[in-house]
Amino acid sequence: MEHILTILIFFPALAAVMGFVVDKNSIRAYGIMVVVVEFLLSVFVWYLFDISDASMQFTQLVPIISQYGISYNIGVDGISLFLVVMTTFMTMIAIIGLSEKRDLKNLILTVLFLEMTMVGVFLALDAILFYLFWELSLVPMLYIIGAWGGKLRVYASIKFFLYTFSGSLLMLVGMLVIAYLYNQATGSWSFNIMDWNMLPITDNMQMWLFVAFFAGFAIKVPMVPFHTWLPYAHGQAPTIGSTILAAVLLKMGTYGFVRFSLPLFPDASVAFMIPMAILALVAIIYTAMVAYAQEDIKQVIAYSSVSHMGVIILGIFALNIEGIGGALFLMISHGIVSGALFMLVGVLYDKRGTKMMNEFGGLAKSMPIFAVIFGIMLMASVGLPLTIGFVGEFLSLLGFFAVSPTITIIAGLTIVLGAIYMLVLYKRTFFGPITKPINEKLQDIKGRELFAIVPLVMLVIYLGVYPKPILEPVNNSVRQLVQVMYIRANTAKAKSTIATVNTIGEKTK
């Protein structure tokens, strides 16, 4: 199993290259076959994964530029494992439910290249390799939005690329500085993230490096006020683009905070704990209010994504096991739920050619199965107990309660805003009289669309009732992460803060 992760990363790209010779009439079946195999590979990795081992597993190290410590270095732990599984699963569901007919072959091959870069981001243990996958993921998504999007697709795709690329350049500068500091301390170069975890960095330098990495991660999340690219990208992207963007690409930013910012800059993470929480709180409140004002169903879900990402940031910067573990679980649950909601909006758009709420009304009468599925996903989105959305939100807020009960209470109350705009959306779309005669003739969801959505519904309920299969291995790796933060912290204040919030967190179990 030495090369299992390499196969997992590059199989979609190799299949995409081979797909150029596949007949366009067979490309859908070919694409589905590839993503199913990729998903089964990720499940096989999960099956082989030792949940009692919190360290990196299935590691592979191949030197590339030895004199500068750049290598092909990959591995997986409890933090990245389920993000990889979610990536392959949501890509598979998105391809199965794909309704786009225009230039279908190139779209499917582009998605396969995109899958390779996303899986690579979560498995890379070399900073340069991580950066290469991070930046390469922009190219397929730029193409998906720009070639298959709406009327403003070119503007939306360029804005998406420029925003995320600009922030990533600052992150690259931060990586080069850390490699230089490592060289000064040891006499050799290394871009191995595990080596960096043992590098002492002064408090002042941590602050500057935290800001450099923050630029790349915050734009990708996106955090307010760096979020303005997201509504355009979602609004103009085709359904499959919005599904993958919401389910996976946004999680790359929050994953970066967990993988880089927390272990490398523990003192800076403690210092920025409250400012990050305030930014998260602003995102929760502000984007919820903006979502309430939208008439476009897709825009409502787009802004709700920013609001939910604020809860994830809150959990991450609780700096304790409950908060970080809850944030990681919420990343997975949000990927499933938001991806499903964008797919459901895509079903409506395919049937009516519009996403405006005032064009619908009374759909529960003509599309009852669709209305039930949409309602379940909506309840999961607002964090209804016994759905997948509740677990992550509850643990994230529980974790931050150990830091600041006041901020946590405000965040908990403002999450209610999500229920308000989602229920208003559901009421206007599915209840009341059918005011548009064309809506009476709409066919209910069935066939391929239903086959793609039902597994998501099952996961939403199953993991909402029994989240242990994910939480246990995640918490094992998060526990080790917090220990690394405590050991690496330079100041007594940082050590005290990390130790205190975890002591309180343990008592709340």
Place of tokens 């503007």: 155
pLDDT surpasses 50 at 467? yes
The pLDDT of residue 262 is: 93
Place of tokens 């210092």: 271
- Tell me the average pLDDT across 177-184: 94
In this structure, which amino acid lies at residue 371? A
Where residue 81 falls among pLDDT bands split at 50, 70, 90?
very high
pLDDT surpasses 50 at 508? no
**Nearest CA to 231 among 294, 303, 293?**
303
Where residue 2 falls among pLDDT bands split at 50, 70, 90?
confident
Place of tokens 């996961």: 459
**Nearest CA to 416 among 305, 284, 297, 313?**
284
**Nearest CA to 28 among 92, 104, 93, 102?**
104
Tally of helices (H runs) and strands (E runs) in the chain: 26, 2
Distance CA 378, CA 415 (A): 14
pLDDT surpasses 80 at 208? yes
- Tell me the average pLDDT across 484-493: 82
Distance CA 332, CA 248 (A): 9
Place of tokens 């809506």: 439
Cα distances (Å, whole numbers) of residue 332 to 118, 153, 252, 255: 14, 28, 11, 11
Cα distances (Å, whole numbers) of residue 46 to 40, 81, 99, 456: 10, 7, 30, 19
Q: For 126, which DSSP code? A: B
The pLDDT of residue 507 is: 52
Highest mean pLDDT among 33-37, 281-285, 308-312: 33-37
Distance CA 222, CA 250 (A): 7
The mean pLDDT of the chain is 90
The pLDDT of residue 275 is: 93
Could you tell me where the beta strands, DSSP code E, fall in 188-302?
none
pLDDT surpasses 90 at 136? yes
Q: For 358, which DSSP code? A: G
The pLDDT of residue 151 is: 85
Distance CA 475, CA 78 (A): 8
Q: Please answer whether residues 364 and 355 qualify as being in contact, where contact means their C-beta atoms are separated by less than 8 angstroms.
A: no
**Nearest CA to 312 among 379, 212, 217, 225?**
217
Where residue 230 falls among pLDDT bands split at 50, 70, 90?
confident
pLDDT surpasses 70 at 504? no
- Tell me the average pLDDT across 77-101: 92
- Whole-model pTM: value is 0.93
For residue range 322-374, list pLDDT tens digits in order: 999 999 999 999 999 999 999 999 988 888 888 888 888 888 998 999 999 99
- Tell me the average pLDDT across 296-314: 90
Where residue 453 falls among pLDDT bands split at 50, 70, 90?
very high
For residue range 374-383, list pLDDT tens digits in order: 999 999 998 8
- Tell me the average pLDDT across 195-210: 90
pLDDT surpasses 70 at 30? yes
Q: For 445, which DSSP code? A: P
Residues 6+ apart with CB under 8 A from 184: none
pLDDT surpasses 90 at 492? no
Distance CA 477, CA 135 (A): 26
In this structure, which amino acid lies at residue 478? V
By mean pLDDT, which of 146-155, 367-376, 428-437, 493-502 is the weakest?
493-502
- 73: phi then psi, degrees, rounded to nearest 5: -130, 115
Please tell me whether residue 435 adopts helix, strand or coil conformation.
coil
- Tell me the average pLDDT across 251-260: 93
The pLDDT of residue 438 is: 87
Q: What percent of the chain has pLDDT over 70?
A: 98
